[in-house]
Every structure is written in C-alpha cells, then in structure tokens.
Amino acid sequence: MKKWKLMFAVCLMSFSVLIAQKTKKGTNKMDDAYSAPKIAQGVLNMSQGAHNGFTILLPDTNVKTVKNMWKDLMKNYSSKVKSVKKSDDDLAAAASIATISGTGTVDVYSQIEDSGDNVSMTVWFDMGEGTYLSSDEYPNSYDDAEQLLQSFGTSVRKEMTERELKQEEKNLKKVEGDLRDLAKKKESLLKDIEKFKKKIIEAEEDIARNEAAQEETKTRIEEQKETVSEVATKLQNIE
C-alpha cells in the first residue's frame, strides 16, 4: 500500500506541475490546443477506507461548478449524488453505468476540493463485495472509467470556456458602448465649438461696433466741448 501511495503522490505532483506550467504559460489565451485531462490512479483514504481511486485535476474552474456538473452527470446514470455523513465524500449510489458495471450498478464515491489554482476530483468505483475499480483487476472497465472522467473533464473545460466567452462578449459590448459614448461626446464637443466660434464672431462684430461707437462718441465730445466753450464766451460778453 505504501508503494501505491508513493506512486500516486509522484503522479499527482507531476500533474500539478504540468497544469501550473500551462496555467502560467496561458497568459496568452490562444496558446496550445486543448487536450483531454490526465487521470492518475492510486490507493487513497475515503469514507469506506483506503481504496483505489482516480484523480483528475481540473484547471480554471471552481468546486461549486464541478459538483453541480457531476450531479448532472450522475443523473444520466439514474443516480442522485448525496453527501456521506462525517466525511468529505459524496456518493452516487447504484449508478447504472453499463460500460463499467455491465447490467448491474456501481456505487460512485467522489471528493471534490480546491487544489491551488485548480480543482482536484477523486472518484472511487465500488464494484461490490469490497472491490474497487482498478486497472489491474478491471482493465476493460478501467479504460471506460478513464474515458468517462476525461469526457467529464472536457465538459467542465467547455462549460468554463463558454462562460468565459459570454463574459468576454459582455466586455466587448461594454467597450463598444464606451466607444459610442465617446463618439457622442465628441459630436457634442464639436457642436459646442461651432457655437463658440459663432459667439466669437458675434463678439468680434460687437467689439467692432463698440469701437466705432466710441470714436463717434469721442467726436461728439469734442463737438460738445466747442459748444460749451462758445456758450461760456457768450456769457462773458453779456454786460
């Protein structure tokens, strides 16, 4: 068992490093083409003891989404996911997964938790009579279980990418709206400029009329001064 745990730990660490590298590299969202998630198997503790399980690391998602999607998937196999008391396990009892259990059913245990920037999901398939699905004891069913989990991982990735697309489309509409607002603002400013230009022209014309009026008034003042002087002289000449 210690050997199984050591091998599983090494595999899990390798997957974590790989996903971390891809996440770091993924600053360019158009990086590499999507590839199906890898599955690691190993003996791990769960509510029913230590049994062989399958772990998949799901990047760029969250526990709530994964749990909800897993519940939806189990419904397709005529099973309802419920929490197992006093444990971190969820159980989809008596799931009818023909590719794994044939004409019978299988109890599917799962643990879904945060793992750094990823979500770690471990699944155990209770084949009955105390045996759990592994590549050694059930090679054919193992391939189908791996395919089921890889398909689920792809569905999660697709769901998150669709959400991302919707959000980016919203962001695009917002930016386009910002551009429309800026264009309207520019149009308003250009109209203001035309109004100001018209007012400047009118003010310049008013200044010209004012200056002409000032010159006319200065002339009238000089004329009035002469009239005053004449009347003053006239007064002095009266004895």
Q: Render pLDDT for 172-188 as a digit per residue (tens, 0 to 9).
A: 999 999 999 999 999 99
Domain ranges within the chain, ordered by starting residue: 2-164
Distance (Å) of CA 71 to CA 68, 133, 182? 5, 20, 47
Answer whether 61's CB lies under 8 Å from 115's CB: no
* Higher local confidence (pLDDT), 239 or 176: 176
Could you give the percent of the chain with pLDDT greater than 90?
A: 79
Long-range contacts of 180-184 (CB under 8 A, 24+ apart): none
Q: Render pLDDT for 93-122 as a digit per residue (tens, 0 to 9).
A: 999 999 999 999 999 999 999 998 899 999
CATH code for residues 2-164: 3.30.530
pTM for this one?
0.70
**142: Cα within 13 Å, side-chain hemisphere:** 16
